[in-house]
Structure 1
Amino acid sequence: MDLLPVLSYTIGIPAAGYFALAAARLHVGSARTVAALRRAGTQPPPPASGTPPVRFAVLMPMLREDRVVDRACAHLAGAIRAGVPLEVVIAVSEREEHERSRAVEALRRAAGQRRSEGLDEALTRAVRPEAHPRVRAALATGDEAALGRILAAEPRPTTAEAAAEVADRLNAELGRTAFRLVTAPASAGGKVGQLNAALRAWSDRRGADRSTVYVGVYDADSQPDLAVFDRMSGQVAVRGAQGAAAPEIFQQVSCYCRNLGDMRGLRAALALPDALAQTRWALGFEYELYRRYSARARRGTLRPLAYCIGHGCFVSADFLERIGGFPTLSPNDDLALGYQASLLGAEIAPVPALDYCDVAPDSLSTIRQSRFWFHGSARFDTDLRAFRAELGVRPGRLQWWALLAAGHGRNLAWAWRAALWTVAALLAAVAGQPALLAVLLALHLWYVQGGYLQTLRQLRRLPGGADRSGVGRLPLRLLAAGAVAASAAFVIRSLGPLTGSLQLLARRRPTRPWKVER
């Protein structure tokens, strides 16, 4: 008996079933989400209720974001001008000052050695980009005096220095102190250390004020639909009118297309399908996850494992006080916050307004980014057990096993689906099974190219979506190239979780936290 056809069917049929189910789920889920977004844009605000107005505080953790802090803050200032009761805390770190000092010393040593190679990071940390050619020339000739003049005249500003100027200007324009700056010590652990430093500073100013406040988080590349604040306030008002509790957490989902206009050539052709694939996941899976989770948390029935996203996440100040701030046990504090909420049964409700942000700038960054996210996702059971011990929470046995099953199944599919399809297609081709191969190819086209075209069409249909996402300005030749490159982008993106899974199987330590340089 020839085992190859048997092996081909054994792998190929489950692979076909998985991709048919996954493609259908994303197709239907994204259509439902877009309908919800369009509906939210046409609904009148709810009538006034007896509940106090909702206020917002947005924390913006920033590291080496001096080039974009102005744009990020100016965007949120638009909400304040529109009357949203919002204050913004820019959370920076002393690490940048230390990094700049070390970079300057490295450049001075290199000048003494007449060495100009291998100093890209030091140049980036020490001086403005326009000064890089002159610094390299001074290093090559060993001109320490010229180097000293350039370092003194054109240092790269830290985010703290840039943010202080931005905050002062915007506060003067607004006529009140809406933007504040908090500097976390260099010892504060990563992004979550900056978040908790900003949260403590904000809480100290809040004092005994017990009004309804949601503490949100946005990244430096976030350009959210500013209707998000009214839509959260509307949901709280509706709950108040019904005598129901407001959600502990609101979560936006994202469109990852905002920086595509800055890219050219092959880089753009690969980034476009990557951005649309992430956006499709947000629309087709994440929004639907929060919708189902929210409904089940309110009913007290068996709920899925949810995770939070570190931008467009708004947490009730009272809930943050209850859990002791943003969780610090994981480098992926946003995922861990969702796991903590899932364990406690705290509600995470979706907000029908998108956060428009950036996709990773190149394929290598995509792999590193998705691997970092996968490592945070793969430790979900460790996080759940730690929260269970810390909080003394004992969910029912069925609920506990449902959380574990959802997490393991999600991670298995994320890490191995591309490899599964590739192996199944190769086996079908080698075993001479054209019908199975045709089915696998058709499902790949539906899952990848079909998702690409559907998401592109949906962004164009959303009010303001084509303009905010930038897809309305992309040339036709790039859109066509992106459709062709979508299969390659699917494989490239899968390498992050796949290599992350292999690292964990080999018991290698996860890679260090990933940070894009803008």
Structure 2
Amino acid sequence: MDSDTRTRSSGASRAAVGAFALALSLRRAWEWRQVRLSRTGAQRTLDALAAGRAPGVREHRVVCVVPLYVEEELAAETVAFWVSVAEQKLCDQVLLVTTVKEEPRQGGRSTHEVCERELERLGADPERIALLHCQEVTRFRASQLNLAVEHARARFLPEVENSSRLWIGVYNADSRPQHETFAELDERVADDGTTRLFQQLVDYVVPERGRAGSVAVGNAVLQTWWTWSHYVARNRRGRPGGTVWSRTAPYSTFGHGEFARLDFLDHIGLFPDFAYADGLLLGWIARLAGEPIGLLASRDVAEVPRRARDLLTQQTAWLRGLLNFDATARWCREQGVLRLSPLEVRFLRAQHLAIPVGWGLSTVALAASGAAVARRARRGEAAAHDLAVVAALVSYPVTPALVSTAASLRGVPLSRRVRGVLASWPLEGLAFWPALLSHLGRNQRAPAKTPR
């Protein structure tokens, strides 16, 4: 009897693991197809932009805002990049915003001091690029962003006369957007007067400063893969907005490479600060308010953490932010900007919750499935079916490494990309559990700063 029970249990376990491996394989196959479609579509857009009309008189204004906090190691490089953008007049003004809540490290310069020195050394035109110092101390960076918004309003609103003609772009200290970004934004704004929020695509790269481990390579591979395989597809699904399926596509903005029109920011009370991760909150507010989020094919090139510990910190913070959807829905309801029905909000909530939960559980499920196959192998019960299952399980984290979705990773040896994703993928999933504990503890403090 016990033998029959064990046999049935083993058979059920084998079937469950096999079904799980098949589901993972089908998911990766779908993602691979989406990556190809997304890259082809983006390149087609950029080719059309390059062959398009000559730039005319810009009726709107674009101000790029770069909030900086504990960025003294990267600040000089950041200033040099944005001075170049300003000198080429790719946008109308760049605002670098530091904060008084940053305390300089012992014996070192603060981020504000480094920026001041570099702007002076480079002879930057203060009309094209300015340094602001936020005196308001808050939990999050929204106070820095909103200071920049008011500065841009005072400077440019008298020129354009209408808040619908002033755009605020947000970038991180490590953002290096392609120069085509601004020409593409100009064209999209000229062609589409209804979209008030844009998000550009992102290619993630390994920092060239210091020593980066394999985990950084793997994280760059996986993050870029996610952008091309999931974000583009969700944006495409949500763009029309005429059906329940479209209105409940689960996507948002990133907090970098995003452009918001001033009248939209005024409509929602400027950048949100009721919870962590203003980029996610901004996009969710737009989705809940029935606002479309346009997609720019040009890329923001952003860095990934260099070390495993830093990746765990950053990924925990990101997953913690993903768990704030309920807080956003409540805020929209209280502010009177909610435009989705209760059923649509519940459906959207379920999809957004499935993202971090699935991220965390998939790591555990894959490890448990591998352990089940290993136990059968030790008992001498392994068969060809089990070898196929092992191959499918291993291929799930490895497949993105086989496709160099970011140009910067194409020169990285395949073996290093594979080692990288095998190191990075489980860490990204494990980060869900501290994020969940923080969420259950209602902790809305900003996470520790990820070292550069």
Q: Which TM-score band (shorter chain)?
A: 0.7 to 0.9
Q: Which residue of 2 aligns with 1:250?
A: 198
**Structure 2 Cα separation of the partners of residues 509 and 485 of structure 1:** 31
Residues 297/217 of structure 1: CA separation in 2 closer, same or farther (3 Å cut): farther
**Structure 1 Cα separation of the partners of residues 145 and 339 of structure 2:** 28
2:442 is equivalent to residue 515 of structure 1: no
The residue type paired with residue 481 of structure 1 is: R
Shift of 1:299: 10
Residues 381/13 of structure 1: CA separation in 2 closer, same or farther (3 Å cut): farther
2:36 is equivalent to residue 31 of structure 1: yes
**Structure 2 Cα separation of the partners of residues 510 and 420 of structure 1:** 29
1:362-394 deviation per Cα after TM superposition (whole angstroms, max 9, x unaligned)? 101111111111111012122212212222525
Q: Which residue of 2 aligns with 1:133?
A: none
1:89-123 deviation per Cα after TM superposition (whole angstroms, max 9, x unaligned)? 11111122xx23xxxxxxxxxxxxxxxxxxxxxxx
Q: Which residue of 2 aligns with 1:53?
A: 59
Residues 429/511 of structure 1: CA separation in 2 closer, same or farther (3 Å cut): farther
- Secondary structure in 1 matching 2:247: coil
**Structure 2 Cα separation of the partners of residues 313 and 289 of structure 1:** 16
**Structure 1 Cα separation of the partners of residues 168 and 446 of structure 2:** 27
The residue type paired with residue 79 of structure 1 is: V
Is the CA contact 1:256–1:275 (under 8 Å) kept in the aligned structure 2? yes
**Structure 2 Cα separation of the partners of residues 485 and 472 of structure 1:** 14
Q: Structure 1 residues 181-190 or 47-56, which shifts more? A: 47-56
**Structure 1 Cα separation of the partners of residues 278 and 289 of structure 2:** 16
Is the CA contact 2:83–2:124 (under 8 Å) kept in the aligned structure 1? no
Q: Which residue of 2 aligns with 1:151?
A: none
Residues 359/185 of structure 1: CA separation in 2 closer, same or farther (3 Å cut): same
**Structure 2 Cα separation of the partners of residues 509 and 173 of structure 1:** 41
Shift of 1:222: 0.8
- Secondary structure in 1 matching 2:213: helix
- Secondary structure in 2 matching 1:252: strand
1:420-477 deviation per Cα after TM superposition (whole angstroms, max 9, x unaligned)? 11112222332445455434333334332221120x2x43xxxxx3xxx3x3554x4x
Is the CA contact 1:56–1:85 (under 8 Å) kept in the aligned structure 2? yes
Q: Which residue of 2 aligns with 1:72?
A: 78
* Structure with bigger gyration radius: 1
**Structure 1 Cα separation of the partners of residues 434 and 22 of structure 2:** 24
1:11-67 deviation per Cα after TM superposition (whole angstroms, max 9, x unaligned)? 424522441233123211221222123223322454479995332111110012233
2:126 is equivalent to residue 126 of structure 1: no
Residues 446/237 of structure 1: CA separation in 2 closer, same or farther (3 Å cut): farther
**Structure 2 Cα separation of the partners of residues 300 and 472 of structure 1:** 36
2:163 is equivalent to residue 163 of structure 1: no
Is the CA contact 1:51–1:237 (under 8 Å) kept in the aligned structure 2? no
Residues 198/275 of structure 1: CA separation in 2 closer, same or farther (3 Å cut): same
Correspondences of 1:112-123 after superposition (within 5 Å): none
Q: Which residue of 1 aligns with 2:135?
A: 185
Q: Percent identity?
A: 22
Q: Which residue of 2 aligns with 1:323?
A: 268
The residue type paired with residue 94 of structure 2 is: V
**Structure 1 Cα separation of the partners of residues 59 and 392 of structure 2:** 49
State how many pairs are aligned. Answer: 439
Q: Which residue of 1 aligns with 2:429?
A: 494
1:232-277 deviation per Cα after TM superposition (whole angstroms, max 9, x unaligned)? 11122233xxxxx342111122222141x4454xx52222112111
Shift of 1:412: 1.8
**Structure 2 Cα separation of the partners of residues 497 and 436 of structure 1:** 31
Shift of 1:406: 1.2
- Secondary structure in 1 matching 2:272: coil
The residue type paired with residue 126 of structure 1 is: Q
The residue type paired with residue 106 of structure 2 is: A
Q: Which residue of 1 aligns with 2:186?
A: 233
Which structure is higher in helix share? 1
2:381 is equivalent to residue 438 of structure 1: no
Residues 444/213 of structure 1: CA separation in 2 closer, same or farther (3 Å cut): farther
Q: Structure 1 residues 288-297 or 5-14, which shifts more? A: 5-14
2:241 is equivalent to residue 296 of structure 1: yes
Is the CA contact 2:196–2:291 (under 8 Å) kept in the aligned structure 1? yes
- Secondary structure in 2 matching 1:310: coil
Q: Structure 1 residues 480-489 or 43-52, which shifts more? A: 43-52
Shift of 1:300: 9.6
Residues 263/162 of structure 1: CA separation in 2 closer, same or farther (3 Å cut): closer
Residues 292/50 of structure 1: CA separation in 2 closer, same or farther (3 Å cut): farther
- Secondary structure in 2 matching 1:67: coil
Q: Structure 1 residues 360-369 or 250-259, which shifts more? A: 250-259
**Structure 1 Cα separation of the partners of residues 250 and 188 of structure 2:** 23
Q: Which residue of 1 aligns with 2:169?
A: 216
Residues 192/511 of structure 1: CA separation in 2 closer, same or farther (3 Å cut): closer
Shift of 1:497: 1.5
**Structure 2 Cα separation of the partners of residues 177 and 415 of structure 1:** 47
Structure 2 residue ranges without an equivalent (≥5) = none
**Structure 1 Cα separation of the partners of residues 124 and 309 of structure 2:** 41
The residue type paired with residue 496 of structure 1 is: A
Correspondences of 1:248-397 after superposition (within 5 Å): 248-259=196-207, 261-262=208-209, 264=211, 267-296=212-241, 301-397=246-342
The residue type paired with residue 24 of structure 2 is: F
Is the CA contact 1:20–1:443 (under 8 Å) kept in the aligned structure 2? yes
Residues 204/232 of structure 1: CA separation in 2 closer, same or farther (3 Å cut): same
Residues 301/453 of structure 1: CA separation in 2 closer, same or farther (3 Å cut): closer
Shift of 1:77: 3.3
Q: Which residue of 2 aligns with 1:113?
A: none
Shift of 1:511: 6.9
Is the CA contact 2:168–2:262 (under 8 Å) kept in the aligned structure 1? yes
Residues 510/192 of structure 1: CA separation in 2 closer, same or farther (3 Å cut): closer
RMSD: 2.8
- Secondary structure in 2 matching 1:427: helix
Q: Which residue of 2 aligns with 1:142?
A: none
**Structure 2 Cα separation of the partners of residues 201 and 325 of structure 1:** 13
